[in-house]
């Protein structure tokens, strides 16, 4: 599957220093990499989209209080976006009394999750998944086949 330019978080991190070097005004509609507006803000970028970790901060309250999950296994694409999404969830989930008991990191573009699903700790309350693109299409049926 071809990736549109300016799409993935790691592409954003790669391009950001050049945008500043060339002082080129840019609009970032999709790239959600946290640090582009946080720890390493890019002067010449305006972000109209979102931040990777952002939706997962309020989600912790729902997971702990409404769903009642205390122990969660994460499985996420092994790149900036996956790390930031899991980071945002883990930080706030554990502040709320939950615990991430295992973290699995399949590479970007994985479509066969068998080796990863076999490792999941079965005494967890739930699986927290971060998939993108082709992996979003394959992961749900992969995990449901394995239970």
φ, ψ at 10 (rounded to 5°): -70, -30
Residues paired with residue 126 on neighbouring β-strands, in sequence order? 72
* Cβ-proximal residues to 144 (8 Å cutoff; 6+ apart), any chain: none
- 58 interacts with another protein by CB under 8 A: yes
- 83 interacts with another protein by CB under 8 A: no
The two tokens of residue 67 are 């769903």
Among 125, 129, 126, which residue's Cα sits nearest to residue 116? 129
SS3 of residue 31 by DSSP = coil
- 109 interacts with another protein by CB under 8 A: no
Region of 8-16, 35-43, 54-62, 99-107 interacting with another protein (CB under 8 A) = 54-62
**For another protein, the closer CB: 97 or 140:** 140
Q: What is the separation of C-alpha 146 from the centre of its chain, rounded to a whole number of angstroms?
A: 23
Among 13, 28, 69, 113, binds another protein (CB under 8 A): 69
Mask for 85-104, x = binds another protein (CB under 8 A):
x---x---------------
Q: Which helix (H) or strand (E) holds 87?
A: helix 80-95
Among 76, 80, 104, 108, binds another protein (CB under 8 A): 76
Count how many residues are written for the chain: 147
Task: Point out which residues bind another protein (CB under 8 A).
Answer: 50, 54-56, 58-59, 62-63, 67, 69, 72-73, 76, 81, 85, 89, 120, 122-132, 136-137, 139-141, 143-144, 147
């Amino acid at each position: 599957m071809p990736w549109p330019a300016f799409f993935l978080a790691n592409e954003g991190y790669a391009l950001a220093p050049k945008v500043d070097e060339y002082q080129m005004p840019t609009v970032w509609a999709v790239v959600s990499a946290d640090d582009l507006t946080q720890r390493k803000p890019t002067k010449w970028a305006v972000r109209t989209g979102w931040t990777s970790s952002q939706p997962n901060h309020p989600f912790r309250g729902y997971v702990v209080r409404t769903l009642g999950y205390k122990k969660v296994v994460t499985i996420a694409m092994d790149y900036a976006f996956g790390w930031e999404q899991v980071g945002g969830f883990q930080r706030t989930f554990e502040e709320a009394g939950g615990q991430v008991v295992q973290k699995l990191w399949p590479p970007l573009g994985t479509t066969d999750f068998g080796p990863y699903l076999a490792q999941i700790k079965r005494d967890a309350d739930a699986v927290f998944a971060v998939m993108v693109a082709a992996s979003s299409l394959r992961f749900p049926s992969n995990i449901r086949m394995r239970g």
